[in-house]
Amino acid sequence: MRSRLSLSLALLGSAALLSSAALIGCDLEAFFLKPKAPFDASKLAAPPDYSQPATWAARPDMKDRADFVPPGVADTQADAPADVFYIHPTTWFNLEVWNDTFDDPKSLEVVDQITLAGEASAFNGCCQVYAPRYRQTTIGAFYGELGDAQQSIAIAYEDIDRAFTAFLAETGDRPFIIAGHSQGSQNAMRLLERVSADEALRERLVAAYAVGFAHPLSNFETAYPELEPCVLPEQLGCVAAWDTYEEGAKAEGDGPMLHWAGDALAQLGDAPRQCTNPVTWRGNTAASEPAAHRGAVAPVNTGNPVDMRKLLMGDDPLGVSMDALGEPRAGWLTARCEGDVLRVPDVSKLDWPATEVQPGNYHLMDYELFYMDIRENAIARTDAWLARQAAAKASLEKAEAAEAAGATPAPTESGTE
């Protein structure tokens, strides 16, 4: 069941590709992956107009694969009390043009078929799903000149920031979740700076899931000091993050990982990273019990198998067809935080197909292995948010009633002044 895939598999998620440096070296990766020309703003597509449905990969008023629910799970999206702003991972692999132009069938296919089904749909139990299309940076930006990379990555975030503004305008005062994976989490981290600085947004934030991009713990001191790491299952306004590796596998080779530090990009280096256990939703090193695992879920592909060579080198769509989600498989996986990373057993020995970038790097399964855990946790946190608001409202009404009763003047005797 083990499938040790080629380097190109990592292109479904930028952080995974960066990790493969331990196998072949950053210089060789840079040679093959970095753009062949400097960043050229004249080649940028026009900024998306997020008032137009076509600029969204998923919305509540669209039929899309973010609507998928696993077999046996009730479809409650129409009545979902919250919203999720989901930011997809890297699907743009162009070596000539630094930022997505929205007209590449292959890139659109990977977003619409794979990431919506396998990741965004995990949140439709609590939330109505919004997933913007954005001028994502190419995977090779992480291997190009830092000045060029910063311009390209900044364009991607500019779109996310404007999409979030449109999202807020449409969702009113409803609670929301921010979720991402890989490059999507890189953008989510910067978006959290905006949330942290705005008290009204902090009040509405149920939680953030910034998965698969080596979340620096220092961000809680420098970038979003008003937010905290998630250390409890129903904690509100917190950030959960993890990077999944097989037990015993080397968790190294992330040299080109770029994070925002103020308005500039910087490499993460050896800075401590956050690890949230997505089974227990705590950050300690205790391993979860298999019975606590709520379940892995993978999309059902009835089209062509995912051909990594075509993904990397081809111009045509892959021809995949994700038509449904598979049955959840629960109660078989343990997980624990070890240092900066999440450790799980060799899943191929537990009859789950292992997709690896380098041996033991499970980046592409960050969501898949814990799909039902994420789904149920998002519901639990949303319920906790609603309970908090209901309690606050009841307390306020009680205080107002008491104040009104105390302010009522005592009746006077008739005929007296």
SS3 per-residue string spanning 223-282: CCCCCEECCCCCCCCEEECCCEEECCCCCCCCCCCEEEECCEEEECCCCCECCCCCCCCC
Q: Averaged over 388-400, what is the pLDDT?
A: 89
Q: How confident is the model at residue 21 (pLDDT cuts 50, 70, 90)?
A: very low
Q: How confident is the model at residue 10 (pLDDT cuts 50, 70, 90)?
A: very low
Cα distance between residue 239 and residue 244, in whole Å: 17
Q: Averaged over 344-363, what is the pLDDT?
A: 89
Beta bridge partners of 342: 244, 337
Cα distance between residue 179 and residue 10, in whole Å: 20
Q: Averaged over 295-322, what is the pLDDT?
A: 88
N- to C-terminal Cα separation, the chain: 94
For residues 83 and 24, which has the higher predicted lDDT (pLDDT)?
83
Max CA pair span of the chain:
100
| CB 153 within 8 Å of CB 258 | yes
Cα distance between residue 150 and residue 152, in whole Å: 5
pLDDT at 14: 42
pLDDT at 309: 74
The number of beta carbons lying within 10 Å of the beta carbon of residue 349 is 11
pLDDT at 36: 85
Looking at the predicted structure, is the pLDDT value of residue 121 above 70?
yes
| CB 357 within 8 Å of CB 363 | yes
The amino acid present at 43, given as its one-letter code, is: K
Which residues, including other chains, have CB under 8 Å from residue 319's CB and lie 6 or more apart?
A: 303, 304
Cα distance between residue 99 and residue 104, in whole Å: 11
pLDDT at 30: 58
pLDDT at 31: 57
pLDDT at 180: 98
| CB 150 within 8 Å of CB 357 | no
Q: For the ranges 149-158, 307-316, 381-390, 391-400, which has the lowest average pLDDT? A: 307-316
Looking at the predicted structure, is the pLDDT value of residue 24 above 60?
no
3-state secondary structure of 116: helix
What number of CA atoms fall less than 13 Å from residue 211's CA on the CB side?
Answer: 28
Share of the chain above pLDDT 90, in %: 69
The number of beta carbons lying within 10 Å of the beta carbon of residue 236 is 19
Beta bridge partners of 208: 178, 239
> What pTM was estimated for this model as a whole?
0.90
Q: For 199-218, how does the pLDDT look when each residue is reduced to its tens digit (9 = 90+)? A: 999 999 999 999 999 999 99
Looking at the predicted structure, is the pLDDT value of residue 9 above 90?
no
Mean pLDDT (the chain) is 88
Residue 250: burial class (beta carbons within 10 Å; 0-12, 13-18, 19+): middle
Cα distance between residue 207 and residue 229, in whole Å: 10
Distance of CA 243 to the CA centre of its chain: 12
Looking at the predicted structure, is the pLDDT value of residue 351 above 60?
yes
pLDDT at 25: 42
> Quick one: residue 112, left, alpha or beta (phi over 0 = left, psi -120 to 50 = alpha)?
alpha
Axis crossing angle, helix 183-196 with helix 146-171, rounded to the nearest 10: 60
Cα distance between residue 371 and residue 368, in whole Å: 5
Cα distance between residue 242 and residue 238, in whole Å: 14
